[in-house]
Structure 1
Amino acid sequence: MSAATSLEDLLAKDAITDVLARYSRTLDWLDEEGQASCFWSDAAIDYGFFKGSAADFVPVVMAIERRSARRWHLSGPPAIRLVNASHAEVETYGLTAGARQGDDGSYAGTMYGGRYLDGFEKRGGEWRISRRDYVLDWSHPIPNQPVFDPDAAFPLPILEILQGGHAKYRPL
């Protein structure tokens, strides 16, 4: 393998890793445009509860995320196999947690562990997800999360992201 090929492979893997980080981040910040930029619009998506194109999936998943008062997505390092210069197979483990506020003011939710089985394509010099199958491995309820009021003894800022365009969001 030449140095140029090795460099191109590293650049491809870095671009794919960036897409996966952007996927989680745009869900958490409710950035629908950023979320759409992770997928080719014709990407085949299968989450079990949804099967169809990415163009149809993004509004559905963003509506789900907007129903949560809190959401948090974390992806592990991806395993990437470059098939050729414009196709890659990728598997990434992920943890997701979301919470809704109950009538009594408390927050409760669920944590999910699963994996993303992705196909990536490079089109016009840009890598995006061209196929995604999500596999849920486990879920666990999270009852009684703290409210959004900071603890006076340990005051940490708590974000309440209920819609896109939060003041703390920075395009990266």
Structure 2
Amino acid sequence: MVGHPRMTAAASLDDLLAKDAIIDVLARYARTLDWLDEEGQASCFWPDAAIDYGFFKGSAADFVPVVMAIERRSARRWHLSGPPAIRLLDAAHAEVETYGLTAGARQGEDGTYAGTMYGGRYLDAFEKRESEWRIARRDYILDWSHPIPEQPVFDPNAAFPLPILEILQGGHSQYRPI
């Protein structure tokens, strides 16, 4: 932990392992949304975690079905998390801030896609319970959003070249549980 001048090798290793486990949860959060893996999404949070996304305030157990329903309405979705800033408070608690980019699009009747790109940050409290790290509290701050212009099926529009893999339901053939 920061500020400990004589940290032992074992303590340093424990800190590195804790940070690695937290980073794994954050990566799993993004990819389980994109691949519509509801069980994997739920594994990122303690069921009693306090969640505040602005449009939703409540427990993680109630949040996961809501966010997955939102994701299923988008034919294309893409989440990217930046490197997290992790502050370990003790052996079972951490504060984490992570920037994120998200894009989602729906297909119109004419076959084109249109949607929105979002930029924001996740302010998380992580807890380790029974040797597993998960999110115990999350506040999401939406910093900005930008409309994505109409996109042909897989030919990008030069004004915003971001065609995204179309995933309409869980169990996609290219999904690999990790």
Alignment partner of 1:99 is 2:105 = yes
SS of alignment partner, residue 116 of structure 2: strand
Question: Which of 30, 34, 43 is the aligned partner of 1:37?
Answer: 43
TM-score by length of 2: 0.90
Question: Which of 120, 139, 142 is the aligned partner of 1:136?
Answer: 142
For these two proteins, the number of residue pairs brought into alignment is 166
Question: Which of 52, 58, 67 is the aligned partner of 1:52?
Answer: 58
SS of alignment partner, residue 55 of structure 1: helix
Residue 158 of structure 1: how far off its partner (Å): 6.8
Take 2:130 and 2:75, find their aligned partners in 1: how far apart are those partners? 37
Take 1:57 and 1:158, find their aligned partners in 2: how far apart are those partners? 25
Change (3 A) 1:162 1:93: same
Name the amino acid aligned to 2:20: D
Take 2:142 and 2:61, find their aligned partners in 1: how far apart are those partners? 22
The equivalent of 1:153 in structure 2 is: none
Take 1:56 and 1:158, find their aligned partners in 2: how far apart are those partners? 28
Take 2:145 and 2:109, find their aligned partners in 1: how far apart are those partners? 23
Alignment partner of 1:163 is 2:169 = yes
| 1:63-102 superposed matches below 5 A | 63-102=69-108
SS of alignment partner, residue 25 of structure 1: helix
The equivalent of 1:13 in structure 2 is: 19
TM-score by length of 1: 0.93
Identity value in percent: 88
Do the aligned residues in 2 keep the contact of 1:148 with 1:160 (CA within 8 Å)? no
